[in-house]
Structure 1
Amino acid sequence: MSGRTAVIALVLSALALSYAYPVRTYLEQRAEINRLRDSQGEQAQRIAELEAERAKWDDPAYVKAQARERLLLVEPGEELIIIVDDKPDKGDKDSGPSKSSKDPWFDDLWESFDNADNSG
C-alpha cells in the first residue's frame, strides 16, 4: 500500500465517520415525523367521531331518547313502568348480592343513603 493510497483511505474514512452521525439523526427524525403523522391521523379520526357524537346531541329527539333510556325520565302524563326480574341469572353464581349495570340511577342513590344510615 502506497502512502498516497493510505492518505486517500484515511480521508475517506474520516468523511464516512463525519457523515454517519448526521445521516443517523436524519433517519431518526424521518421516523419520528412518520410516527407523528400516523398519530395525527388517528387524532383527526377521533375528533371526527367526537364531532359526530356532539352533533347527535344537537337533535332534541336524541336528547329525549337518551333521557328516557339513561335516566328513566318520562313526559308529563306518562307512566313509568319498571319490570323487575327477581330470578337470578344462571351465570350469577356469586355468593353476595350482585349489582346490575342496568340499575336505574335513583336505585344506586337510595342504596347509598341506606348504607350511610346503617354504617353509623
Structure 2
Amino acid sequence: MYIFLLKGIVVWLVMAGAAIANGFFRDEILTPFLGSGLSLPVCGIVLSVMVFTITLLLIPYFGRQKPHLYWFLGVFWTLLTLTFEVVMGHFIEGKPWNEIVQVFNVWKGNLFLLVLVVLVMSPFACAKIRGFAK
C-alpha cells in the first residue's frame, strides 16, 4: 500500500504541474483575450480533460488492482488537491476564506467542482477502459 500511495503522489504531482500550467495559460493568454467570464470555464473543462488524459496514460503504472483501490486513489487525489488549495491559498498567499471558497462557485464560471469529480472518478474509469481493474 505504501508504494501504491507513493505512486499516487507522483502522478498527482504531474497533475498539479498540469493544473499550474493551465492556470498560467488562463491568466496570461486566455483571460486577456476572452475575459475571465469565458476563460475560467474553458480552463476548468481543459483541466478536467487533462486530468482524465494523464490518468488514462499513467494508470498502468499502478498495475492490476481491485476496484476499491482505484476509488481510494481518486479520493486520495481529491484530498491532496483540496489540501493544496487551502494551504496555498490561505496559509501561503494569505487569501481570506471567502475568497478561497469561490473556487466552488459554479455560477461565476468556476468549474473546480468538475475537476474534483473527474479526480475522484478517473482512476476507476481509466482502469476499466485500459483493462486494469480486477
TM-score, scaled relative to structure 2: 0.25
Q: Which structure has the highest helix share of the two?
A: 2
Q: Which one has more relative contact order, counting CA pairs under 8 Å at least 6 apart? A: 2
